[in-house]
Structure 1
Amino acid sequence: MWIRNSDDGTIEKNDIGLFINELDTLPYIERKLWDPWIASKPIKTQHILMGRGCPFKCTYCSNHILADTQDGKYVRFRSPENIIGELQDILLHYPDVDSIYFEVETFGASTKYAMNFCEKLEEFNKSLQRSVQYGINMAVTRTIGRNVELIEAMKRANFSFVNIGLESGSERVRRDVLKRPVYSNQDLIEFCKMARERSIKVNLFVLLGVPGETIDDFKQTIDCAKQCLPNSCMVSIFYPYPGTRLFDIAKEQKLMNDDLDTRNERRTTVLRLKDFPRWRIQYENVMFHFKVFKGQMPFYKRFLYILRRLMFMSPWLNSLYMYFVYKSWIGAVINERISRRQFRAAEDCTEL
């Protein structure tokens, strides 16, 4: 907390405390506070935070910076019992919820923890009168393609989808530029196959236009994504966030202007790469789904992805798109707020 002294205008800054080690000591989220602001009802999906921090040091991510902001243990997980306690609380207060997304950086980085959690979740599911499905963010490690025991446990625990950060299909880019955990493309392809055989959907996350990337590198990304046969892909153009290692590298190599335009964040490239021209990055961003899902998705759906990506590149067109998409949602929020105010006004009059 920062405090400004009114007398002399000086700023006092409190010392930063330690990371909270025991996450189980924190209370559950008071979700009811947000109910008046949620237009889509009944509420079908909720999120639960499983832990905080990430053990990896990826250069494009903020985790390696955040880990140094305070003393103490950065990577922490809640106990399975504590998480399931919150899950039970959610299902009690929101009877229409049928899906839960567990927020965590790297589920599966610790196989022991992941197996324990799946076993406890499977046992809890047996007590439910209805089916609840789960999703989570998976850690990609060297053993991911061989960990049949874990994917089986996740299936028994009723996981219906996983998110995976492929980021780049070039092992050189992952190793030398992004500093990702060590794994091969084949490891990831094998995991996706195991998940698919058990009807667990896979959503891939892809990054393009990073410092040092070439057109051939990105062709490897497309090839790997094709072989993974994912249910969906989220592709983003690299944006150098200040404080990250890749931001420093881009600045040192004079790949960007000093004044970054935040309006272009992940919409268009802000870098000048020698072996991956700006126009080609834009082209690959627009055509990614069209190429990856060829033979898996009807032509018209792939073409719609092209149109959507083109609109996303323009802040103005994207705003127009979002206006029409969320017009009814915004109206519902306004009506919800007005009706509640009218109800409270009527209550006040009754009390008077």
Structure 2
Amino acid sequence: MNILFVHSVERPVSHNALLGQGQIQFGISYISAVVQSAGHHTSLLVLNAENERHATETTKHHLLNAKPDIVAFTSVSSQFPFVHRIATLIRRHFPTMYIVVGGPHVSMMPEDAVGNVFDAICIGEGESAFLELVDQLSALKRPLGVPNFWFRQDNGSWEKNSTGPMLDRLDDLPFPDFAMWDPYVDTSEPHFPTIVIGRGCPHRCSYCSNAALSQLADGCYVRFRSPESIITEIRALLSRLAEQPRFIFLETDTITANPKWTSALCDALMKFNHTMPEPLRFHCNLRITPKSTDESFIAKLAEANIRHLNIGLESGSERVRQNILRRRYSNDDFRRVIDLTRKYGIDVSIFNMIGIPGETFEDHLETVALNRYAQPANSLTSIFYPYPGTELYQVCVSRGILPEKENPSERRVAVLDLPEFPKQQVQRAYDLFDWRIHLGYRPLHVNARKLIRHYIGKSNFTNRMFNKMLPIWHRLHD
């Protein structure tokens, strides 16, 4: 069968491309590889939600040319209204098209997709379930009884199947289909290729959907690939790249989830790098735990040439971080990890959130202070967004502070007007965050240039104009 996957982005990364290398969506990449291995054909359409008129015309043109048997959408919560409008357009112009939707939002809130637009809703992991759906359709059968799927019936009712167990062995999956992303990815921008090395997070942070997603099906939620499988994919990745990348991102929620596995992976990476003319550098996520404050653990990462860590601070206030966000580590633990990464030459980027329910401006200033101590290579800072299925989403519901209008600018625009931290103050704190943490540490002209770039990016129009002029900007400031 001919399957068209559809992915949407809030805004393009540049004038020429919609995505950076670090923005590839792995769920549909794995599903595409699985159905291809069974003999089916797949393709991809990436839509720019910033320009909906162009997206609708692109969709109609693409469907007329590609003539898919199935259109399969994936969606996060902030993109779901846009996805629903595009799917409604397809239903109106191509009434017999079989339309599927999956992804984080409908996995958490499947009732949002119930109606007369979608034919099937995928809940949770989709590799084996989607293949079974495709096989039934290719046999000219009405799909029935497929775990992880809800199906719309002719009378408007829905068959709601239970979820099957989570995939036990990630090594059993084929490598994801990267090739379908090639027309949409800017390979010149400074992100780097990514390899998924694990799935799931053992922690239960109140703002994150991992806790709810872990309850969707039986089986082990936190899983890792074998080091041998990871090394094999690294070699396959290098063979298709024109030049060796600066970094490879090893994607899993946290490298500290299973220290024994991490040690084995580090040994495999060291052995692999001994075969390379120039050793590869690696980048990964790290959640602060008692193990991560152990110097031998950080030293092991450095020996494996893991040279960049994304560390989740989220809030510098221990009250907010521990009591509201459910992240049980101290500011001293954070400083200890920062000190160790400096000692072993590992750069860090810091995840921060602003505008958390219960946070005050004084709490936020503690976040600024800890970031000033860390002086991260990047501050991965966002405005709190209430994701359905999370504990803090329910807090927002109970407090009556959920936004009434959709907000596609997820995590860049303040959506909650908190009595303890008003919306305008949250937005200003976000806009000035980098300026504040680097003031006095970074040259003033560099700080000013980055602040100007931030404000340019706040408007979709000015951001599009800037992307068109990006080569000139680089020549002026290199």
TM range (shorter): 0.7 to 0.9
Structure 1 pair 13–48 and aligned structure 2 pair: CA distance change class (3 A): same
- How many correspondences in the alignment? 322
Please give the alpha-carbon distance, in whole angstroms, between the structure 2 residues aligned to 1:71 and 1:11.
Answer: 23
Shift of residue 95, structure 1, vs aligned partner: 4.9
Determine which of 27, 30, 34 is the counterpart of 2:174. Answer: 27
Please give the alpha-carbon distance, in whole angstroms, between the structure 2 residues aligned to 1:280 and 1:298.
Answer: 26
Query: Are 2:329 and 1:205 aligned?
Result: no
- Which residue number in structure 2 is paired with residue 217 of structure 1? 363
- Which residue number in structure 2 is paired with residue 321 of structure 1? 463
Structure 1 pair 128–168 and aligned structure 2 pair: CA distance change class (3 A): same
Please give the alpha-carbon distance, in whole angstroms, between the structure 1 residues aligned to 2:303 and 2:468.
Answer: 37
- Which residue number in structure 2 is paired with residue 302 of structure 1? 447
- Which residue number in structure 1 is paired with residue 407 of structure 2? 262
Residue pairs, 1:96-111, within 5 angstroms: 96-98=243-245, 99-111=247-259
Determine which of 327, 333, 341 is the counterpart of 1:187. Answer: 333
Shift of residue 59, structure 1, vs aligned partner: 0.9
Please give the alpha-carbon distance, in whole angstroms, between the structure 1 residues aligned to 2:414 and 2:183.
Answer: 38
Unaligned runs of 5+ in 1: 330-352
Contact 1:202 1:230 in 2 (8 A): yes
Residue pairs, 1:149-160, within 5 angstroms: 149-160=296-307
Letter in 2 for 1:149: S
Shift of residue 4, structure 1, vs aligned partner: 3.6
Shift of residue 286, structure 1, vs aligned partner: 1.5
Contact 1:162 1:203 in 2 (8 A): yes
Per-residue displacement from partner, 1:31-66 (whole Å, max 9, x unpaired)? 334334445369993210011110011111111111
Query: Are 2:314 and 1:167 aligned?
Result: yes
User: Residue 107 of structure 1: SS of its match in structure 2?
Assistant: coil
Contact 1:59 1:177 in 2 (8 A): yes
Contact 1:142 1:184 in 2 (8 A): no
Q: What's the TM-score, normalizing by structure 2?
A: 0.63
Letter in 2 for 1:159: I
User: Residue 309 of structure 1: SS of its match in structure 2?
Assistant: helix
Q: What's the TM-score, normalizing by structure 1?
A: 0.84
- Which residue number in structure 2 is paired with residue 275 of structure 1? 420
Measured on the aligned residues, the alpha-carbon RMSD in Å equals 2.3
Query: Are 2:269 and 1:121 aligned?
Result: yes
- Which residue number in structure 1 is paired with residue 376 of structure 2? 230
Letter in 1 for 2:426: I
Shift of residue 108, structure 1, vs aligned partner: 1.4
Shift of residue 203, structure 1, vs aligned partner: 0.4
Structure 1 pair 247–312 and aligned structure 2 pair: CA distance change class (3 A): farther
Shift of residue 189, structure 1, vs aligned partner: 1.4
Please give the alpha-carbon distance, in whole angstroms, between the structure 1 residues aligned to 2:456 and 2:188.
Answer: 29
Shift of residue 120, structure 1, vs aligned partner: 1.1
Please give the alpha-carbon distance, in whole angstroms, between the structure 2 residues aligned to 1:226 and 1:52.
Answer: 32
Identity %: 34
Structure 1 pair 201–39 and aligned structure 2 pair: CA distance change class (3 A): closer
Determine which of 128, 131, 135 is the counterpart of 2:283. Answer: 135
Structure 1 pair 212–39 and aligned structure 2 pair: CA distance change class (3 A): closer
Please give the alpha-carbon distance, in whole angstroms, between the structure 2 residues aligned to 1:214 and 1:140.
Answer: 24
